[in-house]
Each structure stands twice: as C-alpha cells, then as structure tokens.
Structure 1
Amino acid sequence: MLVSLIGGSGFVGTRLIEALGKEHCSNLDKNHSSQYDDITVIQDIRHGGIDNALRDDTKTVVLLAAEHRDDVSPTSLYYDVNVQGTKNVLDAMDRKGLRSIVFTSSVAVYGLNKENPDEEHPADPFNHYGKSKWKAEEVLRDWYQKDPEKKSLSIIRPTVIFGEANRGNVYNLLRQIASGKFLMIGDGVNKKSMAYVGNIVAFIKYLIENDSPGYRVYNYVDKPDFNMNELVTQVRSDLQHNGRLIRIPEVMGMLGGYGFDILAKATGKKLPISSVRVKKFCATTQFSAEKLNASGFTRPYTLEEGLERTLRYEFIENHDDKPVFFSE
C-alpha cells in the first residue's frame, strides 16, 4: 500500500504519515517537512509537476493542501489553491490512472449559526474559504461521476482541529486561558464542535484501509459538543486556574474587532484579533456526527482526553525542541 499525500508537511499530514508509517507514504508540498523531508517533493499544486510525486503504485491520494487562513490576500488565492489546485491534482491522477482520493474539505461549507447540520444540509458558506472548499467539492464530484463504478471519492468535512504542537485558533484560545488574561466575549452558551487531531488522523487511516469504489462524505466532529462556558471551565479546571473570569458583551467584542481590522489595514500587519475571529468565537458552530458514528469507525480518544493531552503537552510539559505547525 502506498499513500500519496498532497500537502502532508503540515499539522494533520505529519501526524498521518506517522500513523501510516513513512515507508507507506510519499508527500508533495510547497514546504519542506520538519520530520519527513526524505519522502517529500517540493511542489505547488497551482502549477504543473504534480505527476512527479504520484508514483504508479499509489493506492490512495490524500489531498490536504489548502489556503485556509482568515486573512489571506488577495482572496483569489483561495480559489487558485483550493479549486484550481484540486483540478490539477485530479488531472495528474487521471494521467497516472489513479482512481482513489480522500479530500479534506471543511464544515465552513455550511456557514455560521446553522442548527447541527448533517451532510445533506444545503451549502451556505459565509467566507471565501468556505466558498472555495465547496467549489472544490463540486470539482471532485464531477471527476467521480465520469467513472463511478471504478473511482473512490471520500470527502471529510472537519470542524476546527486541535492538538499537540498546533498553532491555530484553538491553541490561541487555550493560551489566553492559560495566561490568566482571558476575556470571555458574549454569554458563552454558543456550542463549538471540535476535532482532536489524533482522532481525525485515525479516521483518514480507517478510510484508506477500508477503501472501495464509491462516493462518501462525512462531517468530522468529536462529540459531545462543549459550549464556550463548558470549554473554558474544563480548560481552567485542567490547568487548576481558579481566578475570576471577566466577561464583556458581544457588541463590545465586535467593536474591538473592527478596531483591530482598521489597525491591521493601516499597518499592513496580521493581528491576532479581528472582527471575523470575534464573530466566529461568538457563533454556534455545531455539526452532526451521526453518519460518522454509524460508519464503523471508533475514535481512539474522547474529546476530554484530546483536550487534556493537548493542555499537558503545551502548558505543563516542555517541548520547546519540537516543531510546531501554524494553521487556523
């Protein structure tokens, strides 16, 4: 079995190579791999040359590469990477005669404040990232429909992924709470679906090992969902923080976010706070996992265990000599 990862130098890809065994993997990425550079080909999926990283004995392609930050400029990059890049990968697969792909999309295709959407929920993305991921899915479905009896297409729509050594939005939240300077915006009753990296990597591996022709799409969520009050309480308890929690109304948080937007535009710097991030913090982002739960897959970790492992790695143990991965 050989798995060709596209975009495997990042957070999820590095953990996936570890889970599969690097002897079973090849990797194409525009960046070097901190741990698996010996199996990595440097290539941007917006351009040609993808064929070079796809060996003829590849069983499955896992497409992880994406433009995903909230503050990408110009916004055309979302479509250049997420849509055209997907087309380029599929064209290379066709030239190689490869028929199996696992694609990581996003729950961003549903938009904000939806009521626990399942995989049949209409797409309603609110930002360019979500729109470009939905367009990429449509490209993949068109590719699959050209030969559905022989092709295998698995689409995973993960919610926000967290875990050890990730430097994304969840880490930033955990770090703020750990610092004792956290400011709760809003009433905190909005629910947040989350995904621990150890579980989503295990699910991708499960799909690869149980591959067969057909079309599949799954939300990836670790249940049960925390609301923001529960999440903050859990983190503070794990870190043994008992100080007073300060709260401000959502409208004040949004005004502050707009102020940081203006400052970022004036200075040309990317700042950790923005109106989009405040809006996402206060939004309900809850998604159904019923189809995943019925798939036969068993999560290796509970959500509480994943959170505890992350907190211990980041704020109790010392891992300064280990690489970190930046994402949303």
Structure 2
Amino acid sequence: MNYFITGGSGFIGTHLTNLLKEVYPQSNIYNLDIVENSQNGKAIYIYCDVRTTINLNNVEITPDDVIFNFAAVHRTPGHTDHEYFETNIRGAENVCAFAERYGIKKIVFTSSIAPYGAAEDLKEETTLPTPNTPYGISKLVAEKIHAVWQAKDIQERQLTIVRPGVVFGKGENGNFTRLYWGIRGHKFMYPSRKDTIKACIYVKELVRFMLYKLEHHEQGVELYNCTFEPAYAIEQIVETMKKVTGMKRTVPLIPAWILMPAAVIVGCLGAPMGICPARVKKLMISTNICGKKLSDSGYKFHYTFEEAIADWSKDNDNQYLK
C-alpha cells in the first residue's frame, strides 16, 4: 500500500511520515514536494509541484492508496495574494485530478481555521465560514474542490478535512516557537490582554487523529476542527511553557495604544522575531475554535497540553522548544 504526502517535507508531513513508518513499516511512503527530504530513508522523495499536473513515473499506484494533501502556501502575512490562490487552489485541483486518474478513494486534506475569519465568537464546524484573508479564502475554495471530488462517487470516496488550530511541536518554527523564545529572551509581553483564546493542537496528536479517521470514517465527507477542548487562553499557554521548561519570567501586559505604534516602528527596522503590525494584530484576536466534535469522535488524546509541551521539549533534549 502507498501513502502519498503532498508537502511531505514540511512540519506536519515530517511527523506524519514518522508515524506511518512506525505503524505501517512495510508501506511505501512517497513525499511529493518541491523541497527534497527523504526523512532519513523513511520516505521516497519525488519532486512534485502541485501547481502543475501530477505525473508519477515508475510508481505502481492502486485504488487502495491514500493521499494526504498538505501542500500549501500558508504563512500569513508573508506572501502576495496570488501565491495563496495559485498554490492552494490549483494544487487542490491537481491533487484531486491525480486521485481521479488512478481511482484513489481516500484523501485527507489539511485545511485551516482561517476560513472562519477573524472574530471572537466560538467557531464550530457548522459555523458559516467568512474568510477575510487571501489565505482563508484559498483554503475554503480548496475544501470545496476536494468535496466536489468526493461527490462524484459518494459511496466509494472518503474525504477527511481537518481544520487545525495552531499546530506546535518539533520543527514548527512558527507561532509557538516565537512565543517560547520571546518569553525566554524577555521580549514577549501580553498584547493588551491575557485572556485571548488561541486554539492549538500538538502535531503528534494531529497526525494520530488523521490515521484514526482513516480507520473510523463514518460518512463520505467529514470535517473536524482539530484543537484541544476547551481551547486555551494565551496566559495558560505561557504559564505552561514556563512551568515545563523551568523559565522564571514575569510576563508584563502592554496596552494596545502603546503596542501597535511600537510594532510599526519595529517593523520598519526589519521585523526582528517576526514582529510587525499585522502579526501583532493577530495576537490580539482570539482563535476561539470548538474542538468538541473531535473530543466526541471516539479518538482518545495521547497527551494533555502540559504533556505535549513536555514531549516537545524532550524531542529537543530538554534544552529548548524549537
């Protein structure tokens, strides 16, 4: 059996490869990416740009194979508008066309919470998406493209769409990593409030849930928010990081009327540590995502939030979070 991972060289793809090799050691894992990474022989790397037609020569493909579609332009802010649409929408079209051509029946698509749009209200899977960024719009369209693929053969095709909160773990180099180093370097301050909700999930938990849904799929298209339930506030996240890593820090709160002008100035200096007005504004708005559907799905979490941070630290020899 083959597992095809588009964007397999990335953060989530690397962790999924590790898990697949552990659970299904005899299976072939193909990493389809523009960045080469064989994960120390765990995956077979094939150069693949999802913006173009996917052709895999000399690979024996069967209808029982599985596609994990992770390929995306996702960092926001950080790209021009057309880059999100070109990769995320055209990529979805080409991945679904690849599945159609070979009769592959199972796709797991990693979307985002960005289709919900930025607002404080609690977001469930039934909440009407109102994306307000090119990234969020492109991800919502990509979801619909995958759903159209599944609808062409409702009885046979299986589609799982996951909308993860902030995904953290070894190799993330994103929001949680910046938060940790900001606290450690006395450079992080609570941006105007301490109760901002930041829905999140540990990367090892996310990929385990994906495999669980492959084996416990109840209907043609299943959509899940992927986050701890209930979601954590920024103060809880900071205090857990401090506790697990032994940091003795007092984290002050800075009012918005001071923070935003300061972010503008820092941004003009080259945005050290990724600080810029757009990113600071994101920190001030809750990502209030409901994970109840996941928690009621029968899947059993392997880690509490504190255990997840501790495991991440252990993966870095208990020296830091990175």
TM-score, shorter chain, exceeding 0.5: yes
Displacement after TM superposition at 1:299 (Å): 1.2
Letter in 1 for 2:13: G
Letter in 1 for 2:162: I
Residue-by-residue CA offset, 1:171-217 (whole Å, 9 max, x unaligned): 11011112233222212111111100110010011122335761110
Q: Secondary structure at the match of 1:182?
A: coil
Rounded Cα–Cα distance in structure 2 between residues aligned with 1:36 and 1:243: 38
Residue-by-residue CA offset, 1:23-81 (whole Å, 9 max, x unaligned): 42222111111515650101110012344487422521110111001133332010111
Q: In structure 1, what is the equivalent of residue 182 of structure 2?
A: 176
Q: In structure 2, what is the equivalent of residue 288 of structure 1?
A: 290
* Match among 62, 68, 73 for residue 62 of structure 1: 68
Displacement after TM superposition at 1:98 (Å): 1.3
Q: Is the 8 A contact 2:4 2:68 kept in 1?
A: yes
Q: Is the 8 A contact 2:38 2:44 kept in 1?
A: no
Q: Is the 8 A contact 1:157 1:220 kept in 2?
A: yes
Q: Secondary structure at the match of 2:232?
A: strand
Q: Secondary structure at the match of 1:200?
A: helix
Aligned pair count? 316
Q: In structure 1, what is the equivalent of residue 146 of structure 2?
A: 140
Displacement after TM superposition at 1:315 (Å): 7.9
Q: Secondary structure at the match of 1:306?
A: helix
Q: Is the 8 A contact 1:183 1:245 kept in 2?
A: yes
Alignment of 1:1-328 (within 5 A): 1-21=1-21, 23-24=26-27, 25-33=29-37, 35-36=39-40, 39-52=44-57, 55-57=60-62, 58-211=64-217, 214-264=220-270, 272-314=274-316, 316-317=318-319
Residues 73 and 221 of structure 1, relative CA distance in 2, 3 Å threshold:
closer
- Unaligned 5+ residue runs, structure 1? none
Residues 308 and 53 of structure 1, relative CA distance in 2, 3 Å threshold:
farther
Q: Is the 8 A contact 2:266 2:272 kept in 1?
A: no
Q: Secondary structure at the match of 1:224?
A: coil
Residues 228 and 91 of structure 1, relative CA distance in 2, 3 Å threshold:
same
Q: Is the 8 A contact 1:198 1:301 kept in 2?
A: no
Higher relative contact order (CA 8 A, sep 6+): 1
Displacement after TM superposition at 1:112 (Å): 1.5
Residue-by-residue CA offset, 1:104-143 (whole Å, 9 max, x unaligned): 0001111122422110101111211111100101111222
Rounded Cα–Cα distance in structure 2 between residues aligned with 1:158 and 1:288: 11
Q: Is the 8 A contact 2:31 2:38 kept in 1?
A: no
Displacement after TM superposition at 1:313 (Å): 4.0
Q: Is the 8 A contact 1:54 1:96 kept in 2?
A: no
Residues 23 and 242 of structure 1, relative CA distance in 2, 3 Å threshold:
same
Normalised by the size of structure 2, how large is the TM-score? 0.90
Rounded Cα–Cα distance in structure 1 between residues aligned with 2:141 and 2:272: 27
Rounded Cα–Cα distance in structure 2 between residues aligned with 1:35 and 1:274: 33
Q: Identity rate of aligned residues, in percent? A: 29
Displacement after TM superposition at 1:151 (Å): 1.2
Residues 199 and 184 of structure 1, relative CA distance in 2, 3 Å threshold:
same
Letter in 2 for 1:272: G
Rounded Cα–Cα distance in structure 2 between residues aligned with 1:2 and 1:59: 5
Displacement after TM superposition at 1:304 (Å): 1.4
Residue-by-residue CA offset, 1:234-256 (whole Å, 9 max, x unaligned): 22222333343332112322222
Residues 231 and 134 of structure 1, relative CA distance in 2, 3 Å threshold:
same
Q: Is the 8 A contact 1:150 1:213 kept in 2?
A: no
Residues 270 and 60 of structure 1, relative CA distance in 2, 3 Å threshold:
farther
Q: Secondary structure at the match of 2:83?
A: helix
Residues 93 and 36 of structure 1, relative CA distance in 2, 3 Å threshold:
farther
Q: Is the 8 A contact 2:89 2:142 kept in 1?
A: yes
Q: Is the 8 A contact 1:60 1:208 kept in 2?
A: no
Rounded Cα–Cα distance in structure 1 between residues aligned with 2:173 and 2:86: 24
Q: Is the 8 A contact 2:198 2:287 kept in 1?
A: yes
Rounded Cα–Cα distance in structure 2 between residues aligned with 1:106 and 1:74: 18
Normalised by the size of structure 1, how large is the TM-score? 0.88
Letter in 2 for 1:56: I
Task: Please tell me the root mean square deviation across aligned C-alpha atoms, in Å.
Answer: 2.3
